Amino acid sequence: MLTRKSTPDPPAQQTRIQQIMLAIGMIHEEHEAKRKEECDNDLNGHGQIACPACDGGKIRYYIFGSKLKTRGACSTKNCLAWME
């Protein structure tokens, strides 16, 4: 019998999570560099990075320093958006 259904696990979902993880890593680096550059001890920050998932999109992010939780959204519609 050929009634086997393919499991509903879209690979796009996987890569999106990976892209978000990548973006979070970039934000951590950027935030750390900014703090060093500005000798700023403020652990919270916000800014923009180039989106790793689309061409030309910018991710606007917020980072909450003490726990390094991030929040971000790409300027491209339906691209990356997350909240930790």
Judged by the rule CB under 5 A, the positions of this chain that interact with Zn ion are 51, 53-54, 57, 74, 76, 79
Shortest distance in whole angstroms from residue 60 CB to Zn ion: 11
By C-beta, is 35 or 81 nearer to Zn ion?
Answer: 81
Residue 12 or 39 having the CB closest to Zn ion: 12
Kindly list the distances between the CA atom of residue 72 and the CA atoms of 1, 34, 41, 43, 56, in Å, as whole numbers in the listed order: 47, 17, 22, 17, 16
CB closer to Zn ion out of 42 and 55: 55
DSSP 53-71: SSSS-EEEEEEETTTTEEE
